[in-house]
Amino acid sequence: MLLERDLIQSAGFRNITEGGRVTGFQFRLRMPSYRGMAASLVDGVAVRVGGLVDVEPHVPLWSFGGRTFTLQQLWDSDGVRWPLEEAAVVTVPFDGGLPQGVHDLTVELRLRMSYIPVEHQPTIHRVSRKVTLAPEGGEGTFRYGVSLYSYMGDYGTVLDLETALAHVADVGATGVEILGEAHVPGYPEPSPAWIDTWFNLLEKYSLEPTNYGSWIDTRLRPGRSMTAAEGAEALQRDLKLAGMLGFSFVRPKIGVISGDLVPDPIWTESVERSLDLAHELDVVICPEIHSPTPIKHPVVDDYIGLIERTGTKNFGLLIDTGIFQDRPIPLREGEAREARPAFLDGIGVDPADLKGIAPYVVFIQAKFHDINEQLEDQQIPWRPVLQALKDSGYTGFLSSEYEGDRTPWRAIEQVRRQHALIRRITSDLV
């Protein structure tokens, strides 16, 4: 599993409970040296969290390989090592734990380097980082997941599949959403070895496959559009793969013919040809309602019309919460507002519109772009959205879909903030 570049890792920052009581908090540290070393060379770590916690280097406990030590026990240890590829788990006793939210975590890590003169020892690494405590609460109303699309700026560069899944689990999510052509090596025919790895990782991190993203590339061939038969073939290829990998939903991104995302007319026949297979695989096909298409739109009416006409249980609506955006996404450096799509300023769909389509909604992609250190979303009005979902009777997954700045590792922290935000709001809903 890959580590973040920062010494203080975002994964693993959480309160700990013993005997039903919160007794402290934990975080993970990456080895700052260019080599691993014996854990007895650790001289402790001072820890400060805002104005709440300030402890001396000898106070925290250390865990390596699942074994926990006091600092004195580390000094007396033999054979315990802190390797480069393993983060140390630091536990700070603090009765009641930290409050939920974003914290300023500062550490002063002390290491003894035997090849540096003693008068210049210990070597001290002072670092600070704003990091979100692992979210809690919100249980009983919705289920929580993450789309690996959230990490696409990092995927394959600073994140691999296992690291991404570990971060999903670390926010307390139980569902994972993937993109077939992005996350399945050898697509559309992954090797048996990779399939085994996929299921082993799901078991390791206690995750459930939720939604599988696929594409019907209607302009695949220059000069002509796909036929309905070709569209059905593309959809069925992904239905079979999604079913093999354990997914319950398949989101086909269908080629469009207009600026408000009206799908190519082949969509109807392509989907109808695939409903029997979806039923056989126990998979629901769910195209997304995505900005700039609002809820009250002929596209949505047509999707609902197919459901009512066929009586199928294997077709439904996926709502992308970007349609509720009511404040603009900031301009990028050098970007002119008039040169970008107007919907990036938000189309501001009224969350109350969910009520009219509630029976057909099967999945929510919880799209967002930026959440600040005060856990305030800068574009999406989460309280009315979550209240409307609850009032409509929706109890399925809220699957985080981060689409903001792709600076390395930023998505990890943003997803943590979103889960903290939506769970806090959900806990307060009436």
What are the backbone dihedrals phi and psi of residue 143, each rounded to the nearest 5 degrees, phi first? -105, 155
User: Which residues, in sequence order, are bridge partners of residue 92?
Assistant: 25
Q: What CA–CA distance (Å, rounded) separates 192 from 185?
A: 11
Tokens of 334: 């050098």
Q: How many CA atoms lie within 13 A of 125 on its CB side?
A: 18
CA distances from 59 to 71, 90, 307 (A): 8, 10, 61
Residue of 103, 167, 183, 290 marked catalytic: 290
Active-site residue 419, yes or no? no
Contact 250, 284 (CB under 8 A): yes
Q: What CA–CA distance (Å, rounded) separates 364 from 317?
A: 9
- Long-range pairs, 188-194, Cβ under 8 A, ≥24: 188/237, 188/238, 188/241, 190/241
Cite the beta strand spans of 243-308 per DSSP E: 249-254, 284-285, 288-289
Instruction: Give just the sign of the alpha carbon dihedral 294, 298, 304, 307.
Output: negative
Q: How many CA atoms lie within 13 A of 196 on its CB side?
A: 3
Q: What CA–CA distance (Å, rounded) separates 27 from 43?
A: 17
- For residue 71, the one-letter residue type is L
- Closest CA relative to residue 49, chosen from 87, 102, 110, 96: 102
Q: Distance between alpha carbon 331 and the CA centroid of its chain, in Å?
A: 24
Contact 386, 425 (CB under 8 A): yes
Number of helical H runs and strand E runs in the chain: 10, 20
- For residue 152, the one-letter residue type is M
Which residues have a catalytic role annotated?
290
